[in-house]
């Protein structure tokens, strides 16, 4: 069935391309840079005042900044599955970092159609550089079987914890690095005592090489970084998981090593983004390339006992962090830059989420997308037609760690969180007047609660890999905060 779908999409793409070529010589290149565990407030252009991010701040000044953009999930694997499939976590295949059937539940299926496959069928050269996490080399979820012509990086997300690994993968071939390995488990995770090759430096190098080699035809580069995610194994064993070659300008700050490492990781990432933008200009590709930057979920607290995301206000004044369905766990930056096409120095507060990138990329490529998507094209916003931008009836998330939780945002205003399939555990927040989610108004807005609960029931599609745990009988407590986003 998937082969037939892709064949039909390819035929339709070819027809669409023939028509579009009369008006445009070629569709735009697309570069999507995804940080790992970067919070809404971790960049200067989103209010950060302790960590320097000049290149991303300039990118925001030269492009469009989304202030109500949401990750696909609150942890990495399901968030990436949402981006690849254009389906929210009630429909997408991978809905968490583990499931009742282990690795199978964290692997894209043969019948899944990814945005990379749609772009590939439309004639794009496609590359994934960095972290995959949706299928091992011997599975149908391997990236080269899911639409990527080229792959270099981590296949396994636990292996990706290690910023100085002893190997990476080029497709299914191991590429040895000059680091050693103190192993923790069997996935390649652990930490290095001889630290030479920093994975994210290699990813930026690989991305720059791809830009030069692929410029003859439209290309899609998915640059999936692993910073500022902690090396959880090093955090647990040595107390500092924020691995970086050096602390740079933060070396003399009176901060803990993990705190210095966190800041240095983000600034080093920012320098890499600057390299990508400079390379596009050097190659003469700047004006025909859409560059997007985002994060897969909210900030972590996994760098070790010396690191607290509150020090940097990493959630931007929003409540919660990674693994929470409150705003701090799922609201993330999105910056879009495309000189001459995307308006400069503009921001939009219209709610959107990473699943929308599927329809967006397909429209830009002149390619038809599958019909069963939870995806709305953001092309009107990217072209400055903010008034023409369609919006979702509601945005939806479900999450399985700790206890089963669901969240819905309706009309861009009402945010519902249900911690069990029982309205007694329902939280309701008015984001228009309480973006930090400090006041649960469920008891006074019963009709809204009923509407959102119905949407939650409708949005969830059962799957054998992810099951409802036993309902909780206690409502989740509300932790007030006085900070404003």
With 0-12 / 13-18 / 19 or more C-beta atoms within 10 angstroms meaning exposed / middle / buried, residue 451 is: middle
Q: Helix or strand or coil: residue 357?
A: helix
**DSSP code at position 422:** S
Domain definitions of the chain by residue range:
2-21+28-392, 402-485
**DSSP code at position 340:** T
Q: Residue 173: beta bridge partners?
A: 170
361: nearest Cα among 37, 151, 85 = 85
**DSSP code at position 90:** T
Half-sphere exposure in the Cβ direction for 365 (13 Å, CA): 33
Joined together, the tokens standing for residue 383 give 């072209």
State pTM to two decimals. Answer: 0.93
Antiparallel, parallel or unpaired: β 414-418 and 405-410: antiparallel
Joined together, the tokens standing for residue 275 give 């390299």
Distances (CA, A) of 384 to 309, 310, 323, 343: 34, 35, 33, 6
Q: What is the structure's pLDDT at 478?
A: 33
Rounded to a whole number of angstroms, the distance between the first and last alpha carbons of the chain is 46
Q: Domain 2-21+28-392 belongs to what topology?
A: Alkaline Phosphatase, subunit A (3.40.720)
The number of angstroms, rounded, from the C-alpha of 383 to the middle of its chain's C-alpha atoms is 22
Write the secondary structure of 125-176 as one string of H (helix), E (strand) and C (coil): EEEEEEECCCCCCCCCCCHHHCCCCEEEEECCCCHHHCCCCCEEEECCEEEE
Joined together, the tokens standing for residue 335 give 């910056």
* 452 Cβ contact partners less than 8 Å away, ≥ 6 residues apart: 394, 408, 410, 414, 416, 426, 428
Joined together, the tokens standing for residue 112 give 């899944």
The dihedral formed by the CA atoms of 97, 241, 55 and 64, expressed in degrees to the nearest 10: 30
Q: What is the structure's pLDDT at 131?
A: 98
Q: Helix or strand or coil: residue 64?
A: strand
Residue with tokens 């023939």: 18
pLDDT tens string, the chain, 485 residues long: the values are 565 556 555 544 554 444 443 345 799 999 999 999 999 999 999 999 999 999 999 999 999 999 999 999 999 999 999 999 999 999 999 999 987 788 999 999 999 999 999 999 999 999 999 999 999 999 999 999 999 999 999 999 999 999 999 999 999 999 999 999 999 999 999 999 999 999 999 999 999 999 999 999 999 999 999 999 999 999 999 999 999 999 999 999 999 999 999 999 999 999 999 999 999 999 999 999 999 999 999 999 999 999 999 999 999 999 999 999 999 999 999 999 999 999 999 999 999 999 999 999 999 999 999 999 999 999 999 999 999 999 999 999 999 988 889 999 999 999 999 987 777 789 999 999 999 999 999 999 999 999 999 999 999 999 988 886 544 333 333 333 333 33
Distance, CA of 189 to CA of 171 (rounded, Å): 19
**DSSP code at position 463:** B
Distance, CA of 216 to CA of 188 (rounded, Å): 36
Q: Residue 66: beta bridge partners?
A: 334, 348
* 311 phi and psi angles, rounded to 5 deg: -60, -40
Cα-based angle 367, 370, 375 (whole degrees, multiple of 5): 90
* 461 phi and psi angles, rounded to 5 deg: -110, 125
Q: What is the structure's pLDDT at 137?
A: 97
**DSSP code at position 184:** S
Distance, CA of 131 to CA of 169 (rounded, Å): 10
Distances (CA, A) of 138 to 94, 141, 291, 375, 412: 17, 8, 32, 30, 42
Q: Which CATH architecture has domain 402-485?
A: 2-Layer Sandwich (3.30)
Antiparallel, parallel or unpaired: β 289-295 and 334-337: antiparallel
Distance, CA of 243 to CA of 255 (rounded, Å): 15
Q: What is the structure's pLDDT at 373?
A: 98
Distances (CA, A) of 219 to 8, 327, 435: 21, 33, 38
Distance, CA of 402 to CA of 116 (rounded, Å): 32
Distance, CA of 429 to CA of 331 (rounded, Å): 15
Q: Is-contact 384 342, C-beta < 8 A?
A: yes
Listing DSSP states for 1-40 in one string gives -HHHHHHHHHHHHHHHHHHHTTT-SSPPEEEEEEESS--T
Distance, CA of 40 to CA of 99 (rounded, Å): 28
Q: What is the structure's pLDDT at 13?
A: 52
């Amino acid at each position: 069935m998937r082969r037939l779908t892709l064949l039909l999409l390819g035929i339709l793409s070819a027809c669409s391309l023939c028509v579009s070529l009369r008006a445009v010589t070629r569709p735009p290149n697309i570069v999507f840079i995804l940080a790992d565990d970067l919070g809404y407030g971790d960049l200067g252009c989103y209010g950060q005042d302790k960590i320097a991010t000049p290149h991303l701040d300039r990118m925001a000044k030269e492009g469009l900044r989304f202030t109500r953009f949401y990750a696909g999930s609150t942890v990495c694997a399901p968030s990436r599955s949402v981006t690849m499939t254009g389906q929210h976590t009630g429909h997408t295949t991978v809905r968490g970092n583990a499931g009742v059937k282990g690795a199978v539940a964290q692997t894209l299926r043969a019948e899944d159609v990814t945005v990379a496959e749609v772009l590939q069928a439309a004639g794009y050269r496609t590359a994934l550089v960095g972290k995959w996490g949706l299928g091992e080399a011997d599975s149908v979820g391997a990236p080269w079987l899911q639409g990527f012509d080229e792959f270099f990086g981590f296949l396994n997300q636990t292996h990706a914890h290690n910023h100085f690994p002893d190997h990476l993968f080029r497709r299914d071939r191991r590429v040895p690095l000059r680091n050693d390995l103190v192993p923790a488990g069997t996935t390649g995770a652990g930490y290095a005592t001889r630290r030479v090759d920093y994975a994210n430096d290699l990813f930026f190098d690989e991305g720059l090489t791809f830009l030069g080699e692929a410029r003859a035809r439209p290309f899609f580069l998915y640059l999936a970084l692993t910073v500022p995610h902690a090396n959880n194994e090093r955090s647990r064993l040595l107390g500092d998981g924020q691995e970086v070659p050096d602390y740079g300008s933060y070396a003399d700050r009176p901060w803990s090593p993990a705190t210095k490492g966190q800041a240095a990781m983000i600034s080093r990432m920012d320098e890499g983004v600057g390299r990508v933008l400079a390379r596009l200009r050097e190659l003469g590709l700047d004006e025909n390339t859409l560059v997007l930057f985002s994060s897969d979920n909210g900030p972590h607290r996994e760098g070790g006992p010396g690191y607290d995301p509150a020090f940097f206000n990493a959630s931007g004044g929003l409540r919660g962090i990674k693994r929470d369905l409150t705003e701090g766990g799922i609201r993330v930056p999105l910056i879009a830059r495309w000189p001459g096409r995307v308006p400069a120095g503009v921001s939009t507060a219209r709610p959107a989420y990473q699943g929308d990138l599927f329809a967006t990329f397909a429209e830009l490529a002149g390619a038809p997308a599958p019909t069963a998507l939870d995806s709305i094209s953001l092309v009107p916003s990217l072209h400055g037609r903010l008034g023409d931008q369609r919006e979702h009836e509601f945005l939806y998330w479900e999450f399985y760690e700790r206890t089963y939780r669901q969240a819905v945002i309706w009309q861009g205003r009402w945010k519902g969180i249900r911690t069990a399939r029982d309205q007694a555990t329902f939280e309701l927040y008015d984001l228009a007047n309480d973006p930090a989610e400090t006041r649960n108004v469920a008891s006074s807005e019963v009709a809204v609660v009923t509407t959102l609960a119905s949407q939650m029931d409708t949005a969830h599609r059962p799957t054998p890999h992810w099951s409802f745990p036993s309902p909780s009988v206690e409502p989740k407590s509300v932790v007030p905060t006085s900070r404003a986003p």
